[in-house]
Amino acid sequence: MPMTWLNQSIDDPNLVQSVEDLIKAYPASSRVIERLVNYYDNKPPSDRDIKRRKLEDKNALSSDEILRIMDVSFQLPARKKLDLIITRTRLILYNPKQNAIEVQYNLDDLSQLGGACVPSPDKAVKSYTYTIFLKTEDVIVFNTQEKANVTLKKPDTEDQILETNKHEVISQLITEHARVPITQPSKEFFRSTGVSSITGKQEDRSHVIGYLKAKDGFLFFLPTGILFGFKKPTLFFPVSSLASTVITNITQRTFDLTLTLRPESKILGSAGFRTTKDGDDDTVQFSMIEQSEYGGIEAYTKKVNINDHSMTEERKAVNKGENQDETNEGNNGDDDGQDTSENDEDFEPSDDENEPLEFDTDASADEEDDEDDEDTEKQTSKELAHEEEHEFEDAVMSENEEGEELLDESD
């Protein structure tokens, strides 16, 4: 008997046949499967279903489209090549192969603070990474390569091929049409000199390597704020959100950088990320930064007028207290550093032969020498006893021999 509800809800013939076979093998499952199909038929569309939808007409966007940057490599919110489309009201990530909108955002939902274009770190081919943050906790991250051409499409004009300075042109277009200022690194604000992991040669770069908890990433000190990326989470700390910085856990090779946020300030791109607390202030700590980067970071904080609390009196007092606690712990509370855990003058021998001996902590080198002498005397006594034993055996043998001679003479 045909199942009309099944054919009405599923347009894949192979899937329909598989479900029918399953119901024939297990008739009792028919009611459960029907309820499941009805549930999904009547379920309201999710946010992702709304964002990602098929376009019935390939030219549906043309009437509202201002700019299309074709075949762009995205990292977030999805790792794939898509077209970046800007309309009068929306920013759209469009999949031309499937003729579908992957994700779309209202231009009013884009943050005016988190746009950036920076050189992509540790890439064999020179590339640039772009970030567009939303007012919510989302972020858009995509890349362009210096050698690969980029095609621009605008209504009623011929396609434009970008061959040089692509990142400059794209940054300008996004700033103009998406109303998101795209900032770039400036040597006036920050400069780092390090060794490339690709070429092994010394190079100027605009980032430092750091860790956010267990996740490694790159810190960019930009005129508008500090960018950390480009995995999840990718974060942006606007200068206006930063109250102070503190350098801690300094070793011979690395140090940690702690950012203290202003009250009720916001971190862009912080989906799933939570700050920590230092007193009543929210803080974020980046660890394992190379010592050579200290000068550049210090100069940056002064340039953007962020307070450096690393050498404040309060911080010095805390560090001094910590050091004193470590010293006291190592000395067990004794001022002269002597080990006073045991008083040998109170030692009294026990009558119990099974009781373990107590170790005398004040044993001197002379006592050790006495022990050596005692061992020598014991060895000497053993040797004398051994010699006396041999002498006794010789005397017995001599007496036996004399007895045998007397017997022979009497015979």
**pLDDT per position as a tens digit, 183-220:** 999 999 998 877 766 677 777 888 999 999 999 999 99
Structure tokens at 384: 């004398």
For residues 192 and 101, give the distance between their C-alpha atoms in angstroms, rounded to a whole number: 40
What is residue 43's predicted lDDT score, i.e. its pLDDT? 65
Q: What is the rounded CA–CA span in Å between residue 89 and residue 106?
A: 6
The ranges of the chain with pLDDT < 50 are 1, 48-52, 55-58, 313-369, 371-372, 374-376, 378-380, 382, 384-386, 390, 392, 396, 403-411
Residue type at 350 in one-letter notation: S
Q: Where does residue 171 rank: exposed (0-12), middle (13-18), buried (19+ CB within 10 A)?
A: buried
Q: What Å distances lie between residue 191 and 105, 187, 194, 257, 295, CA to CA?
A: 34, 5, 10, 17, 9
Residues written for the chain: 411
What pTM was computed for the model? Answer: 0.64
Query: Which pLDDT score is estimated for 85?
Result: 95
Q: From CA 261, how far away is CA 171, in angstroms rounded?
A: 28
Closest CA to 285 of 307, 328, 255, 315: 255
Residue 149 neighbours by CB distance under 10 Å: 12
Half-sphere exposure of 359 (CA within 13 A, CB side): 3
293-342 pLDDT, tens per residue?
999 999 999 999 998 777 554 444 444 444 444 444 444 444 444 443 33
Structure token digits, residue 115:
């746009």
| Nearest residue to 165 via CA among 117, 204, 207, 220 | 117
Distance CA 5, CA 27 (A): 16
Output the average pLDDT for the chain.
Answer: 77
The helix, strand and coil proportions of the chain, stated in percent and rounded to the nearest 5, come to 35, 30, 35
Give the Cα separation of 252 and 258 in Å (integer): 18
- Contacting residues for 63 by C-beta, under 8 A, at least 6 apart: none
Residue 116 CA, distance from chain mean position: 22
Phi-psi region of 110 (alpha: psi -120 to 50; beta: other; left: phi over 0): beta
Strand partners, 195: 202
- What pairing do the DSSP bridges indicate for beta strands 242-248 and 307-308? parallel
**Structure-token match 């920590």, residue found:** 276
